[in-house]
Structure 1
Amino acid sequence: MFGLRKWSTPVLRPAGPFIVGGVAVFYLVAKMQDAMINSDEYKNDPRNPAVAAGKKDH
């Protein structure tokens, strides 16, 4: 009764678009965050985490 069955339940195929969408959103948000941190408006702001980490390439 339990164990391997004749028809296994598909998991990755129906969830594939959601996984790809999640990865794309994660990547795009990370790129936007990096662009905003390195913008001229926040380049020398003391609240900028890149300044606090000691990045000198600003």
Structure 2
Amino acid sequence: MSLLGKKFNAPFAKPFAPFFFAGIIMMYGINSFGNTLMNTDEFKNDPRNPNAGKTQKPADKH
């Protein structure tokens, strides 16, 4: 007796493939949009921004 119930020989990945690809495309789009928003002037100096301390200003030559 199995704890997971009866096993059925049915395809799983093939019918759900469009949903997997759509999920990957959505995650890529949301990540790209978030990265774009992190680099805007409004959020560039926000302390919660992981890129806030990484920008270096060019040294002034006197």
Q: TM-score, normalised by structure 2?
A: 0.66
C-alpha distance in structure 2 between counterparts of 1:35 and 1:23, whole Å? 18
C-alpha distance in structure 2 between counterparts of 1:12 and 1:56, whole Å? 44
Q: Superposition RMSD on alpha carbons, in Å?
A: 1.8
Displacement over 6 Å in runs of 4+: none
CA drift of 1:36 comes to 0.5
Gaps (5+ residues) in structure 1? 1-7
Percent of counterpart pairs with the same letter? 37
> Aligned residue pairs: how many?
49
> Which structure has more RCO (C-alpha within 8 Å, separation ≥ 6)?
1
Gaps (5+ residues) in structure 2? 1-8, 58-62
Higher CA-based Rg: 2
Q: TM-score, normalised by structure 1?
A: 0.70
